Amino acid sequence: MAAPTSRGIPARTPVRLFAATLLVAAAGTLLGCAPQSTPEETTPADATADTDTLSGELAVFAAASLEPAFEPLAESFEALHPEIDLTFTYDGSSVLATQILAGAPVDVFASADEANMQKVVDGGLIDGSPTTFATSELVIAVAPGNPLGISDLADLAAPTESGAPPVVVVCAAEVPCGSASQTLLERDGVELAPASEEQNVSAVLTKVAAGEADAGLVYASDVLRSGGDVDGIEITDASDAAGSYVIAPVSDAASPEVARAFIEFLSTDEAQQLLEDLGFRAP
């Protein structure tokens, strides 16, 4: 990821015309008919002055599946607050939670599920309550054109023309995409012998895109970000295992005001529209 940029912004000091106000009031008294002056209305620029002067660095730990959304969102956020520098670390939510509990320096944690966020909450390392800002559902990632004709989860364990089932990769059970995969496979009574169990959904996507696996279970947003390197096959009632993306400031964050501002930004129309465009769903 390219290093965040920083742009300065001049401080703005509202001008209060106390002397002029007193003179107008005196004139109104002498003439008996002149209207009294009213205080100057606050302009939008004045109203946002406090937020515009936010500054500092913000280290964000985020689930790997959030990378395609958080990169452009970071640019928009930094454009609004030029004196803020955002840095991101992406990985499986369980890996990130473990690192936070071990004392990794971080200001904000964005998890792809509530379970891994709760680990950090239980560790006393979250300031306040986590906020849900998006959800996502699993699909089956296959090679472009779906050469094996996979149509549902059962096909992942069924013999192909070669006599062997497809080579399938999934996320490890402790990772949100792995837990969701397990839920759907058990629901449909499908027993898989995966070729590998990855520590984050990006690794699953990479193996399918590279032809190292015939199929993998990823989020709908991952198929979109692949840029056509994989196709996505919808899973019936995938909402049964929909994941909730939750975010919260970590206790003792270096810039708590900046952390809160970034979290609030994710609920704006701009952020929610971009998340939707990338395959995420509203919370």
Q: Name which of 13-17, 73-77, 142-146 the model is least confident about.
A: 13-17
Mean pLDDT, the chain, rounded, equals 85
**What does the pLDDT read at residue 60?**
98
**Per-residue confidence at 12, pLDDT binned at 50, 70, 90?**
very low
Among the ranges given (15-24, 76-85, 104-113, 264-273), the one the predictor scored with the smallest mean pLDDT: 15-24
Which structural domains are found in the chain, ordered by start?
Answer: 57-135+243-277 (3.40.190.10), 138-241 (3.40.190.10)
Averaged pLDDT, 93-108: 97
Specify the higher pLDDT residue, 237 or 6: 237
Does residue 236 register a pLDDT over 90?
A: yes
Q: What's the token pair of residue 259?
A: 């952390």
Q: What is the pLDDT of residue 141?
A: 98
Q: What are the beta bridge partners of residue 84?
A: 56
pTM to 2 decimal places:
0.74
pLDDT attached to residue 82: 94
149: phi > 0 → left, psi -120 to 50 → alpha, else beta; which?
left
Question: Counting Cβ atoms within 10 Å, is residue 245 exposed (0-12), middle (13-18) or buried (19+)?
Answer: buried
Taking only the tens place, the pLDDT of each residue in 134-177 is 999 999 999 999 999 999 999 999 999 999 999 999 999 999 99
pLDDT for res 107: 97
pLDDT at 212 over 90: yes
Share of the chain above pLDDT 90, in %: 78
**pLDDT bucket at 53, cuts 50 / 70 / 90:** confident
Predicted pLDDT of residue 3: 39
Residue 243 pLDDT class (50, 70, 90 cuts) = confident
